[in-house]
Amino acid sequence: MSTRIYARIAGTGSYLPPTALTNNDLVARGIDTSDEWIVERTGIRSRHIAADGQVTSDLALEASRKAIAAAGIEADKIDLIILATSTPDYIFPGTACLLQSKLGVNGAAAFDVQAVCSGFVYALTVAEKFIRSGSHRCALVVGAEVFSHILDWNDRNTCVLFGDGAGAVILEASDAPGVLASALHADGSQHGILEVPGNICGGRVVGDPFVKMDGPAVFKFAVKVLADVAREALDQAGMDAAGIDWLIPHQANVRIIQSTAKKLGLPMEKVVVTLDRHGNTSAASIPLALDAAARDGRIRRGDTLMLEGVGGGFTWGAVLLKF
């Protein structure tokens, strides 16, 4: 009888650029806001900004090296690289391929996933399917963003929210359960509430190259779908929310996080919150939070984790797993 194949996280890593901008730093730049206003409405106190010339694959490389070290493997063991980002280095090649080159390994399948803030959940779900199929054994799954490149620093509705960073995991084939369930969804009719409505044509920018967001609409949408998709994943696994040891949500807004936890009946003591230190890092936010909690000892082997995200597209999803 053949042994069933599971996919389990073997190591985590993350990276934040050294330069941090506090809310007061933004005020000093002339942005019409205040530390109190930002903290009260979002929970964000600071965010990290990539240095000039520092691109998404650079951040991804640092996070990946840490995940590889934590997993105790050599990079050449990786046979699949999936990188979630909305801020690629180039139009093409994919940032996953550029990361592969910087890691010094060749031959493994490598591609990008673009689902904005849900990107890491999408990428992790895709990687798990590859491993469960038996076609691949060791995946590097990364969420990395340099959102500072697409922010209008005169728009206080967006520039105070986002930051740069990267998070990564090594997902390996295992005979012990790891990923227990996952659910992914999208509603393209909602694209207008969060988007960058621009592109390159004929060597020039066509449209608007900056993040545009309808904050109240995003809040309302996120609060509904995050609780629903978490329950969907729990139902797939035959569990209820009481079985969750840690909720690791997309780090966008503390009020969204609190509302989701309340709907699931989870105390905030079971929720990993890191957005106060790095703001909304889009696809990087969930693996950043996961790595922070794994390294400080909150998350331990055998814990049941719920990872969930929602972002432009509109996309949303959840992954339930044993760490």
Q: Which residues are catalytic?
A: 117, 250, 280
- In sequence order, what are the beta bridge partners of 304? 322
Closest-CA residue to 122 (of 298, 322, 312) = 312
Two tokens at 258? Answer: 């609190």
| The two structure tokens encoding residue 43 | 């929970």
Contact 115, 84 (CB under 8 A): yes
CA of 161: how far to CAs of 133, 144, 209, in Å?
A: 39, 16, 17
Q: Which residues are registered as beta bridge partners of 195?
A: 212
> Which residues make Cβ contacts (< 8 Å) with residue 275, sequence separation at least 6?
42, 43, 44, 251, 252, 253, 254, 257, 285
Residue that is written with structure tokens 């004929």 in the block: 202
CA atoms of 291 and 176, how far apart (whole Å): 21
Which residues face 51 on adjacent strands?
none
Do the beta carbons of residue 17 and residue 164 sit within 8 Å? yes
Closest CA to 171 of 104, 133, 124, 134: 124
User: What is the rounded (10 degree) CA torsion for 220, 222, 224, 225?
Assistant: 150
